[in-house]
Structure 1
Amino acid sequence: MQGSVAIVTGGGTGIGAATVRRLAARGVSCVINYASSRDDAEALAYEVGHGAIAVQADIVEDAACRELVAAAIDRFGRVDFLVNNAGRTRFAAHEDLDALDAADFVDVYQLNVIAAFQMIRAAAPALRGSAQGAIVNVASVAGVFGIGSSVAYAASKGALITMTKSLARVLSPVIRVNAVAPGYVGTGWFEKRLGEEGFAKLNAKVAAATPMALATGPDEVATPIEMLLDPAMRAITGEVMLVDAGAHLDVGLSRRPGREN
């Protein structure tokens, strides 16, 4: 992967930042996309080196996606990898059917699905010119099991998973397309809102509920992203890898009659 170039959307923080660090350690030059986290993205670019650059783009806009890819080509002359990591949600209990309106669904879908498609479309010509073109979409177990922060979020991630399989088919054999589907990921987003002590308690609670006794962190998601981009994985496309410390093995069981929690 030495000398390759990757675009990572939402790359300044969380899973995106962890992915940038792992790719840079492999000698990959990264284009770190951000919407508003300029300081984080620029500091990360300085930290990882390899000519990494931070580029602001609101990828909900198709023109911004094309400009982001153009910035990568202008700087490095190529694009080998794309990580569609940027995403958003609306928090609402699934059983509360009045908690979301059409605008909530559209807002979540625009970034989680349409923007990912637009990025793939914009990057496809450059990826076709690479001998190792690969894409990883960051989905969620919410899109596999219909769980998570809201119905809108679960529906959008389900659509992203379907799109992953569709595009893996049509972009083969030149470009591989895979997805990772994390469950809970203990990012700085939680720590900022809960504080250090609250964040530690949440991680302990999550770990106690998973078969692997682990609260998944950004690095645990970045590792399979790196792996799926690696040209050594050329036999794998259209795959959705669950990354949740085995929590999916227990999905739904806690609501079964007679089960103790």
Structure 2
Amino acid sequence: MKLIVGLGNPGAQYEKTRHNVGFHVVDFLATTYSMRWERHGRAMIANGTIHGEKVVLVKPTTFMNNSGEAVGELVRWFKLDPGDLLVIYDELDLPLGQMRLRGSGSSGGHNGINSLISHLHTNEFPRLRVGIGRSAHAKSDTVKHVLGVPGNEERIDLEISERKAADAVPLYLEKGLDATMNLINVDPEAQRKAEEKKRLKLERREQEKRLKAERLAQEAASKQSEQDQQQSENSSVSD
């Protein structure tokens, strides 16, 4: 069994903020796989199965900075190891549209992850970070940014990212951590360059094949011409 934990803040005033990306992702999973939310201690949970794996979706109701209290209780209740978690949350240091899957690591200054590390007594748990980017204004207050509601265009881009993150969860459950990391931890620009390099390589290979075919055709035509000329000369001698 896996706990799929989305981090966020409860309450209507936080519902559409950037900081609630984790909540949005597990909400999307609950809808997709027809799971019903119910209260369990200091969290909302939804039980179900994804790709044959029993999962419990989790939204802590302790507010972001105390997320570890609720998650720690659930880990002990279900008798799970920290490695059975997948924690999904927002990441300032990733551009909008990018995400990163890791098996462990520091909090990177994220208060929700700080709380989990404190209450689980380890940083050895998988986490999926969804990029929200930093404010375009260098002097903008970070707290105002993460707790702010994105504008219409950014909201659309963020929803696309959240759906991509939700799609990564069944992939993770089916293929495991390492294989999924290799599939989704790709920088878009690096991927574009790799695809362009691959395209150029294929074009070069096709060009080489075409030139080789033309050369062989020319050699065959030249050989046939020599044979025809030789036959013509032989015919002249016979006459």
Do both proteins adopt the same fold according to a TM-score greater than 0.5, normalized to the shorter chain?
no
Larger helix fraction of residues:
2
TM-score scaled by length of structure 2: 0.39
Radius of gyration: which is bigger?
A: 2
Structure 1 length normalisation: TM-score?
0.37
Higher relative contact order (CA 8 A, sep 6+): 2
